[in-house]
Amino acid sequence: MVLFACLSGIGETLDRASMRDLGDRLPLPAIITVAVILGPIGGLIGVWIGAWLVAITGKWMGGRGTSETVRTALTWASIPSIVASILWIPQLLLLREELFTSETPRLESNPGLIVPVLALSLVEIVLAIWSFVLMCNTIAEVQSFGSAWRGFFNLLLAGAVVFVPIMALVFAAVALG
């Protein structure tokens, strides 16, 4: 489970770096190094904290999962995402640093790259959906819910426990500022 959490963390770090155009500020080798070093740490922390929150909020819903069983469920559900992380290799070969920048001159000047890039993106989307559905089902299973929808609401409630207080603090800071 530790290996899966670490691999998942690398993929998540690369995804975040790409979405935030980190290549506009850092060179490609630095981005890869950060993903390989900090990604596994983030993956482990995320799985441990996430499992703890999902186990607690699941108990509020009548669930029976422990932090350990929920951690296992979350980790197994990440396998499609880990497979999607392998797709970074052909994308890096095709686009190199442009995967992480706001400007994409190589892609814009070579329309032939659009088809493989879109195909890889489509596969990533399918794998992400599969991972999410699998997560809802595995959480439902370890919580003894009997419904993937209850697993989904367990995940949603765990997210709300974190998100709502943060948003309240942000709104309070804006109102006072």
Asked if residue 122 has pLDDT above 90, the reply is yes
Owning domain of residue 145: 2-176
pLDDT of residue 21: 96
Tens digit of pLDDT for each residue in 33-88? 999 999 999 999 999 999 999 999 999 999 999 999 999 999 999 999 999 999 99
Tens digit of pLDDT for each residue in 135-152? 999 999 999 999 999 999
Asked if residue 175 has pLDDT above 90, the reply is yes
Q: How many domains does the chain have?
A: 1
Q: How confident is residue 11, by pLDDT bands cut at 50, 70 and 90?
A: very high
pTM: 0.88
Q: How confident is residue 111, by pLDDT bands cut at 50, 70 and 90?
A: confident
Asked if residue 177 has pLDDT above 90, the reply is no
The string of DSSP codes covering the chain is -HHHHHHHHHHHHHHHHHHTTGGGTS-HHHHHHHHHHHHHHHHHHHHHHHHHHHHHHHHHTT----HHHHHHHHHHHTHHHHHHHHTHHHHHHHHGGGGGSS--HHHHH-GGGHHHHHHHHHHHHHHHHHHHHHHHHHHHHHHT-S-HHHHHHHHHHHHHHHHHHHHHHHHHHHHH-
